Amino acid sequence: MIEIIDLYKSFFGQQVLNGLNLRIADKELIAIIGQSGGGKSVFLRHLIGLVKPDSGSIIIEGIDITRVTRKELDIVRQKFGVVFQGGALFDSLTIYDNVAFPIREILMLDEAKVEQRVKELLEDVGLSGIEKKYPAEISGGMKKRVALARALVTEPKIVLFDEPTTGLDPILLHSIHHLIVDTHKKYGFTGVIISHDIPEIFDVVDRVAFLYKGRIAEIGTPAEIQNSANPISRQFITGSLDGSTEILL
């Protein structure tokens, strides 16, 4: 389970997270939605310990990662897989080596097992046959799939998705969403998805949390959020310019 308690973070005097509280159950798939520049990615970076909060706690399976040593944090990090916004694939490595990288470096499996695992993962994400290519030689959608394969290769308990469909066309967007659902069913991870895909994301996740002004303004099932009476949530979901939401430019 992931529990975030009173999380505060500011950058150069600007309050980005302002007392954020959130509980994410095991094997749950949750989407964090909210305005651009509203602190969603910052929040996600806190979960993996890439950013230190000003105050508050982030408890991952009973360990408060804001109060641990680097070594202890690294042990917690091994439970995670992260799909970064642009994929963050290593340019100098082939697709095969990118996916194999975490299992070679962390699990230190022998090469036969590495090959078997990489091929299985690339099949799962529908990308067999591109092992020898480099990230620069494949499309944006393929990069996202490879990033997902790399994130899942160590069979992590928690997978974080930072806007996994940004820059993709609607068909690719749906295919990535299906892929997330399918892999979630197969591997049973806890998934946190930062997303702007409204309403598509409602078909993917178990719950949706709406982040506004650095805290969770509303949380519930996709149906609850879609039928919310909260004027700010409603305005965000409908994308209307008229309303009380402070527009961040």
Could you tell me if 228 and 234 are in contact, meaning their C-beta atoms sit under 8 angstroms apart? Answer: yes
What is the distance between the alpha carbons of residues 143 and 167, in angstroms, rounded to a whole number? 12
Question: Mind giving me the DSSP string for 12-64?
Answer: TTEEEEEEEEEEE-TT-EEEEEE-TTSSHHHHHHHHTTSS--SEEEEEETTEE
CB closer to other proteins, 39 vs 212: 39
- Site for other proteins, rule CB under 8 A: 45, 48, 50, 74-75, 77-78, 80, 82, 84-86, 88-91, 101-102, 105-106
CA atoms 12, 14, 18, 22: torsion sign: negative
What is the distance between the alpha carbons of residues 174 and 164, in angstroms, rounded to a whole number? 11
Q: How far is the CB of 38 from other proteins (least distance, A)?
A: 18
CB closer to other proteins, 106 vs 223: 106
Task: Provide the terminal-to-terminal Cα distance of the chain, rounded to the nearest Å.
Answer: 35
CB closer to other proteins, 80 vs 212: 80
Q: How far is the CB of 111 from other proteins (least distance, A)?
A: 14
Q: How far is the CB of 2 from other proteins (least distance, A)?
A: 15
CB closer to other proteins, 48 vs 149: 48
Could you tell me if 52 and 66 are in contact, meaning their C-beta atoms sit under 8 angstroms apart? Answer: yes
CB closer to other proteins, 71 vs 185: 71
Q: How far is the CB of 19 from other proteins (least distance, A)?
A: 25
Could you tell me if 32 and 48 are in contact, meaning their C-beta atoms sit under 8 angstroms apart? Answer: no
CB closer to other proteins, 88 vs 198: 88
Q: How far is the CB of 94 from other proteins (least distance, A)?
A: 14
What is the distance between the alpha carbons of residues 249 and 235, in angstroms, rounded to a whole number? 16
Contacts of residue 175, defined as CB under 8 A and 6 or more positions apart, other chains included, come to 126, 141
What is the distance between the alpha carbons of residues 93 and 22, in angstroms, rounded to a whole number? 37
Q: How far is the CB of 218 from other proteins (least distance, A)?
A: 28
